[in-house]
Amino acid sequence: MYSVLPNHQPMFNNYNKNRLILFFEQFGCNKREAETYLTCLQLGPTPVKDIAHNMNSNRITTHSIIEQMIKKGFLYETFKGKKRLVGAENPTVLMSLLQKKYNDLKLLEINMDYIVRILSQSLPKTDVVPSVRFYEGIDGLKKVIEETLDAKNETLMIGNLNFFADLVDKDYLMDFHRRRGQSGIQTRAIFASTPMIQTLQEKNEEYRLNFKVIDGGTDWTCGILIWNDDIALAAHSDGRVAVTVIQNADLTNFFRNVVFESLWRLGHSPEFQ
């Protein structure tokens, strides 16, 4: 005979038990599933019939709950001879399950903007106010940079190349230009006259990049990206990076055809020693 709790004594007081059940709900477990884990935790590896007996439940229902909890990673099965025993995973498994939950949510967060944007393209065109999104930090800046790889037309850039290379890492920035060129996206850019533009000039055909420079601008700490119906305004001040993305066709057309083209006419081809 395997261990059975005498007189079905409670494992936890009501407060702790209710708190634990609420906690397990965050992992997709219902009340009965949480109680099954708590019972198995105290019993140790035990036959299903004894688990059912301790929970005042029938064997078929208990077996079904146990199978679900094994799939969720809270219980495991083992054998002693021909006897099948069910046990509770060590409570430290909660840390692993929490990390997996966190990783899944992080992946969902990373892809959310892309998924929403793709789905939004199917919405009927209506006269609506511009949509505005805000991002902070280097990761936010990179996320917006990656969005431009979905450009359906020419991408436009204005900024201090050296400054933003220092922010996001020069290797990442060069790899981004390479990937964008491989995607067949044509880009025109207006850069401040800084040393890094010579590196781009050597690869402008590979990167499908045509750019001009404006003398000075080495103190620029802001930049603009224009693609599709989006404008991204990136700024760095007081040690913080902030990016504002505005999605509006009329505003984008104004920046694309008036603001950028005016600056383009003021710029000149780079000259190197």
Assign residue 229 the CATH number of its domain. 3.30.870.10
Predicted confidence (pLDDT) per residue in 197-239, tens digit: 777 777 778 888 888 888 876 778 888 999 999 999 998 877 7
pTM of the model as a whole: 0.53
pLDDT at 70: 92
The answer to whether position 109 is within a domain reads: no
Alpha helices in 156-268 (DSSP H): 161-168, 170-182, 197-201, 249-254, 261-266
Which one of 91, 109, 143 terminates a domain?
Answer: 91
Question: Token match 């936890």: residue?
Answer: 12
Question: The domain containing residue 82 runs over which residues?
Answer: 6-91
φ/ψ of residue 114, rounded to 5: -65, -45
Cα 16 to Cα 30, 131, 181: the distances in Å are 16, 46, 59
Which one of 62, 91, 120 terminates a domain?
Answer: 91
Q: How many domains does the chain have?
A: 2
The answer to whether position 115 is within a domain reads: no
Same domain, 82 and 140: no
CA-wise closest residue to 149 among 113, 105, 98, 122: 113
Which one of 28, 60, 91 terminates a domain?
Answer: 91
Domain of 53, CATH number, reads 1.10.10.10
Same domain, 219 and 150: yes
Residues of the chain with pLDDT under 70: 1-12, 123-130, 217, 272-273
Per the structure block, which two tokens stand in for 200? 């781009």
